[in-house]
Structure 1
Amino acid sequence: MNSSSSVSASPSASSASSRSSHALAPLGWDEEWEAAFSSYGAQGLLPGRVVRVDRGQCDVVTGDGTVRADTAFVTPHDPLRVVCTGDWVAVDPAGSTPRYARACLPRRTAFVRSTSSKRSEGQILAANVDHAVIAVSLAVELDLARIERFLALAWESGAQPVVVLTKADLVPDPATLAHLVHDVETSAPGVPVLTVSARDGAGVDVLTAVVAGGTSVLIGQSGAGKSTLANALLGEDVMDVRATRDVDGKGRHTTTTRNLLALPGGGVLIDTPGLRGVGLWDAGSGVGQVFSEIEEFAEDCRFHDCAHESEPGCAVLEAVGTGALPERRLESYRKLLRENRRIVAKTDARLRAEIRKDWKRKGAMGKAAMEAKRGGGRPF
């Protein structure tokens, strides 16, 4: 078949699609995906899941095996709509030269962060994910603010976050380990927090049971032990592993691309490169989910638009004063909200206007306070 010509429907193509559907079940194919794909199946195209993307090409697992497909037809100008690991696509059947991915099925979830570029574009890391497994190393001091940042992105993606504290064998004292887990649980309301030692296998069975249902993306900083953890879940050394520095627990990127792998115990794992920068991308609801207790306190504030800074009758500040809310949590909440607002404002003219208005209001308040302090007089 010519790659640029339309594909005609045929009984053989329909039966091939049916066979592909059954073969793709271990990768997450279900009746809903089948229904979404039906119009493409009628054109003789094959369903497949993207396991890797590299420079305009993607590796796609179909019912006939893994094929290499060109993404020219599914590479829009919007960086959030480019083909990504985890996507379900419709590809040309065997015999097409070259072979193209013709369409991408609508995503159920998408894990997105902002890029480190000055343009502050969004970058999609994984698609159609059910669990976001956040790997955090116990070899170094916990950075709770960074965990909260990862959690905000995870909640915003639509996936269920899971925090995995890796290298638990490096914390032999049970009391110390329990204290660390408690600190993370306090920063991750509603999120399972697991401890795992890939070295001796402790806790791996619990994590295996969690990720057995659906697709999981494994994220975290370089040196968090993601590749080692992935190997433990896979039951073999598939991912390259390198030692981390003892000083700060950091390591080089052992995973350089996002890869999708079927797990022997069921489920699918997407392994990602270590993330040095974790910028928010329109994650307002995700931030609210991470700091749900603050938003609950805020319901009792005197003013509905309370900024929780110095307003009278602020229930959030009262909670900090009584010790019901750690001040560190409030500071982290403020920081992530400010960052997310700046990101959204880059593409939202109305919000930019609101921010400028807020700046002017605060500037006027500051000026009035200074004048009052001087007794109402002005220097000449």
Structure 2
Amino acid sequence: MNLIDYGFVPTMMPEDVSGIPARITAVHKERYELVCEYGYTFGRLKTSIYYAGGFEDFPTAGDFVLIDYNPDGDSRIVKTLKRKSFFSRRNPTPGKGEQAVAANFDYVFVMQSLNHDFNLRRMERYVTLAWQSGAVPVIVLTKADLVEDCSEQVLASQKVAPGVEVHAISTITGFGLDVLKDYLKPCKTVVFLGSSGVGKSSLVNALAGQEIMAVGDIREDDSKGRHTTTHRQLIMLPGGAMIIDTPGMRELGMLDDVSVGLGETFSDVVSYLGRCKFSDCRHQTEPGCVVRAAIERGELPKERWESYLKLKREANFSDDKEGYLRQKQQWSKKMKKNGGIRK
């Protein structure tokens, strides 16, 4: 088994650490499926190392790790190697920071279906997260067979995601699938980001040329589907490309630092910032505000400006909330240590 086929680059290996490199292909609570030079195996965390640090270092689907290989049982995962890209969500445990849900991917397929699911504000959110991850976003509009003409939706998507490629596809007719294969080169990894029922499992099956994932039913009243992914996994396609599928993707929210993602997604908005008459302009009623003038002239859509502000506020709130939860947790520990007496 050659780990290079799974995207491993020898320069990923740190010089001062020993171990066998491996890639996480699936996560089952406290047990991991791995692939390494000895083939497929299972592993568990070396708790003395991982639980001393933060949850963001816990390995997830797509991670490259170092293991103490055990041919007779579960290997020990001793280190998570540096990630080139990753998605994370707020850890369910208050004050525990972020939790990675997918790592080391090259492209993010931001998926929306051309039915009731199509939503430009949600698209802006997902594209922002995709840019922030360190990978390249690609917008994939699914279920093109449900509409006679999707040119309007394609154009609208291009306007809210400057510089991002937009492709309409149908897994029923095969329309547009050949274009997606340009991203699915050997050793490349793609992660899907989209709502339930958008057709992620159907696309995996279409690209693989066989049914390897269950497809959920769609509710007719709102076009929403049931989540069919039950654990995080990395799927190797016949052509050598890989797809990461994870149930945690639907829980992604704005985290504290999304400056890169916002700057890329809202490059049209950002181009007006810093050009106002006053450096501390709040872009409300101040004289000489370039942003408000651009909106009034019709150069900058008001919806874009409001969406930018909403996502930025959400990121700031997330940062404040996490800081509050950390302080609260530290205070609780201090209170217990002092027997519940304030000092």
Q: TM bucket by the smaller chain?
A: 0.7 to 0.9
Q: Measure the CA separation in 2 of the matches of 1:113 and 1:305.
A: 32
Task: Pick the structure with more helix per residue.
Answer: 1
Equivalent position of 1:204 in the other structure: 177
Aligned-residue offset at 1:87: 0.7
Alignment match, 2:239: 265
Where does residue 223 of structure 2 map in the other structure?
249
Q: TM-score, normalised by structure 1?
A: 0.79
In the TM superposition, residue 278 of structure 1 has moved relative to its aligned partner by: 3.5
Q: Residue 312 of structure 1 aligns with which residue?
A: 287
Look up the SS of the partner of 1:183 in the other structure: helix
Q: Superposition pairs for residues 105-254 of structure 1, below 5 Å?
A: 105-114=81-90, 121-173=97-149, 177-212=150-185, 214-254=188-228
Once the two structures are superposed, residues 39-81 of structure 1 have per-residue CA deviations (whole angstroms, 9 ceiling, x without a partner) of 55xx4x3211001111211100112221010113453352211
Match of 1:296 in 2: 271
Stretches of structure 1 lacking an aligned partner (at least 5 in a row): 1-19, 350-380
Q: Structure 2 length normalisation: TM-score? A: 0.87
| Preserved CA contact (<8 Å) 1:134 1:220 | yes
Aligned-partner SS, 2:296: helix
Change (3 A) 1:66 1:37: farther
Report the CA distance shift for 1:154/1:87 in structure 2 as closer, same or farther (over 3 A): same
Q: Using CA pairs below 8 Å that are at least 6 residues apart, which structure has the higher relative contact order?
A: 2
Cα RMSD, aligned residues only: 2.3
Q: Which residue of 2 aligns with 1:91?
A: 67
Structure 1 position 323 matched with structure 2 position 298: yes
Match in the other structure for 2:56: 80
**1:103-150 superposed Cα distances (whole Å, 9 cap, x missing partner):** 211112211233577658423221111111111111215211111111
Determine what percentage of the aligned residue pairs are the same residue.
Answer: 38
Deviations 1:240-273, CA, capped at 9 Å, x for gaps? 1022112211111111212101222232210122
Alpha-carbon contact 1:222-1:250 (below 8 Å) kept: yes
- 1:112–1:247 distance in 2 versus 1, CA, 3 Å: same
2:4 aligned residue:
25
Report the secondary structure of 1:308's partner residue: coil
Task: After superposition, give the CA deviation of every residue in 1:187-209 in whole Å (9 maximum; x if it has no partner).
Answer: 11111111111111111111111
Change (3 A) 1:156 1:185: same
Displacement of 1:224 after TM fit?
0.8
Contact conserved, 1:219 with 1:272, CA < 8 A, in 2? no
In the alignment, the residues of structure 2 paired with residue 201 and residue 142 of structure 1 have an alpha-carbon distance, to the nearest angstrom, of: 20
Please give the per-residue CA displacement for 1:253-305, whole angstroms capped at 9, x wherever unaligned. 11121210122223221012275443111213212221111110224222233
How far, CA to CA, are the matches of 1:121 and 1:253 in structure 2? 25
- Aligned residue for 2:111, secondary structure, equals strand
Task: For residue 222 of structure 1, give the secondary structure of its aligned residue in structure 2.
Answer: coil
